Structure 1
């Protein structure tokens, strides 16, 4: 199979967060309930990894793996920053996979709590399988909703992983599969603002919904 599925235990979160995660392996294929109160954000040009944070870690990936973030940047500064660092969280997770390091500092810089545990479990699954990433990974239809009077931002977006593949590290063999319902995934990330000397918004909770019909457009 192209996108390996290795499950971890479902995590029940606090009533305030109102999120449930069922984490899956290389495919990020999972099923869970929706987060209530999420809206679609709007803005102008597409977002990209932030370059303004001098302390930010390397989130580069192999040259044969490509991200497409087809996001509209919200006009609100906080929402735009939260969306940018949600993108960086995804980049950092893939960086950890490519480095084969479950303790990679990149994802730890952009996450905490359950979201950091999720990233670590994903990387561990790929390390155990001796796989890395290749192909093109597309993210789109982003939205940002302000929660708790600006103390948190809820970031949502779709993913089409139909052309994102696993590659065996030892043999270099690419494990292809055709695009199907499993290719479409919905992400919801609870982002918390920078604290202390850090300039990064951190994902504290992530929910991943597999076979997302709303993303099949």
Structure 2
């Protein structure tokens, strides 16, 4: 459950994403705060009607919930990008609770650095013998077009004040008090479907910690 700080700014993330869009990822491992999250109340992935079959299992334990209090955009591109961004977060948490760094769920919704990031985060949880429990909340979602790349930048606030680590051997829960550390901002650069692909995928991710604007 070690924290990692990602120094990349939003502007830098947008620029890097635009440059790497045609390269389908690559580059070094992204560094960020650990994602410690869960799912909606029913742990059900949100998938657009055009996503097709082959969606991976992302069911979560009953003691773990991820809540998305976001408004779906009337723009079909932005709505699809937001759906896949939410699914990437669910998939990452599925990998954590499944204790599987090679879980197919996050790989289904990511490319390049976002795939490496998810794998590294899950590996860290598994190595430290932690899984997740409680409630993880995401809200204040925003979607923005990125230049002429047809990509979309999804931004969401996160409240992890009621989200805790649980030791996989002892089942002891590590409770933490609410503080500024509980509030983060997620920025996910979404790549549109290419060729035979039918879903948007996360290409880059940045997590900014201690964000006062996300406090509620």
TM class by shorter chain equals 0.7 to 0.9
- Match of 1:149, SS state, is coil
2:126 matched to 1:140? no
Residues 108-128 of structure 1, C-alpha deviation per residue, up to 9 Å, x if partnerless? 111111111111111011000
Q: Aligned partners of 1:92, 1:18: CA distance in 2, in Å?
A: 21
- Match of 2:16, SS state, is coil
> Which residue pairs with 1:157 in the alignment?
156
Relative to structure 1, the CA distance from residue 194 to residue 125 in structure 2 (aligned partners, 3 Å threshold; closer, same or farther) is same
TM-score of the aligned structures, taking structure 2 as reference length: 0.82
Whether the aligned pair in 2 keeps the contact of 1:8 and 1:23 (CA below 8 Å) is yes
- Match of 1:178, SS state, is coil
2:14 matched to 1:5? no
TM-score of the aligned structures, taking structure 1 as reference length: 0.82
> Which residue pairs with 1:50 in the alignment?
47
Residues 43-72 of structure 1, C-alpha deviation per residue, up to 9 Å, x if partnerless? xxxxx6116332211111111001110010
- Match of 1:85, SS state, is helix
Q: Aligned partners of 2:2, 2:168: CA distance in 1, in Å?
A: 17
Q: Aligned partners of 1:79, 1:185: CA distance in 2, in Å?
A: 22
Residues 185-211 of structure 1, C-alpha deviation per residue, up to 9 Å, x if partnerless? 000010001123332211100010000
2:19 matched to 1:22? no
CA RMSD of aligned residues (A): 2.7
Q: Aligned partners of 1:209, 1:176: CA distance in 2, in Å?
A: 22
Q: Aligned partners of 2:17, 2:102: CA distance in 1, in Å?
A: 27
In structure 2, stretches of 5+ residues that fail to align are 19-28, 38-44
After TM superposition, list the pairs within 5 Å mapping 1:60-209 onto structure 2.
Answer: 60-149=59-148, 151-209=150-208
Whether the aligned pair in 1 keeps the contact of 2:6 and 2:32 (CA below 8 Å) is yes
Q: Aligned partners of 1:163, 1:198: CA distance in 2, in Å?
A: 36
Relative to structure 1, the CA distance from residue 184 to residue 11 in structure 2 (aligned partners, 3 Å threshold; closer, same or farther) is closer
In structure 1, stretches of 5+ residues that fail to align are 29-47
Whether the aligned pair in 2 keeps the contact of 1:21 and 1:208 (CA below 8 Å) is no
